[in-house]
Homo-oligomer: A and B are copies of this chain.
Amino acid sequence: VKRIAESSVRRLSLYLRYLEDFEVRGQTTISSEALARCGGTTSAQVRKDLSFFGSFGKRGLGYAVPELAAKLREILGIGREWRVVVVGAGKIGAALAQYRGFLQHGFKLVGLFDNDPARVGKKWDGVVVRDMTRFEKDLRTLRPHIAIVTVPADAAQTVVDRLAKSGVRAILNFAPIAVQAKSDITVRNVNMALELEVLSYALVHQTDDE
């Protein structure tokens, strides 16, 4: 597998969203132009993104929807079962634990952790909240591929370090700081405060324009 830009992976994921929608509605072929419109890009970009992984589609006929969807699922690793743990069983953690979209895409929640005694032992959607004191031991049993971190900012880096030491190679961080990890670990940061501040900046800018 060749290295492709993260922006391409994001677009492939987006194309797949629409292809799955077309599959449900029984549409069998789609042109690169139509796929481009869905993804907010150009047909040249669609062809470039897809050509990276081989030859798809027929000139004048477009892409076969079920085949292209299957190929994108393979490329994106969907259909495999990925074991996921959520660290931090606060409101966001609990909402994620119950997020049905997980299962649909092959992500299986296998563990939920917190250090708050009031939360430990509770069940979210059938998964019990485990105590952080047994974190490393439990991780050896659960063997998660992916960890979602929803702990407070000042605890996030320590949690990420412990996950890295335990062999977790993919981390989705919701704590409002940029956590660091070795280059062989993929970290994605989703930062609510930051997203809101980008909007806030845009609003200030709009106001000053008027």
Q: Does A149 contact B (CB under 8 A)?
A: no
- Chain B residues with CB under 8 Å of A17's CB are 153, 176-177, 193
Interface check A61, CB cutoff 8 A: no
Chain B residues with Cβ under 8 A from A94's Cβ?
Answer: 91, 95
A77 lies within 8 A of B172 (CB): no
B146 and A75 contacting across the interface, CB-CB below 8 Å: no
Is the CB–CB distance between A195 and B172 below 8 Å? Answer: yes
Across the interface, A39 reaches (CB within 8 A) one of B1, B178, B198, namely B178
How many copies of the chain does the oligomer comprise?
A: 2
Chain B residue at minimal CB-CB distance from A16: B197
Residues of B within 8 A of A95 (CB): 91-92, 94-95
What separation, in Å, do the CA atoms of A140 and B197 have in the docked complex?
A: 24
A110 within 8 A of B: no
Q: Indicate the member of A38, A75, A192, A199 with the most B CB atoms within 10 Å.
A: A199
A2-16 residues with Cβ-Cβ distance < 8 A to B are 3, 6, 9-10, 12-14, 16
Taking CB atoms, residues of chain B closer than 8 Å to A47 are none
Contacts of A158 in B (CB 8 A): none
What sequence of 0s and 1s flags, for each residue 190-210 of chain A, a beta carbon within 8 Å of any chain B beta carbon?
A: 111111111111111110110
A101 within 8 A of B: yes
Q: Is A51 an interface residue (CB 8 A)?
A: no
Partner of A195, one of B190, B203, B204: B190
A interface residues with partner B (beta carbon < 8 Å): 1, 3, 6, 9-10, 12-14, 16-18, 21, 38-40, 75-78, 80, 82, 91-92, 94-96, 98-99, 101-102, 105-107, 145-146, 153, 169-172, 176-178, 180, 184, 186, 188, 190-206, 208-209
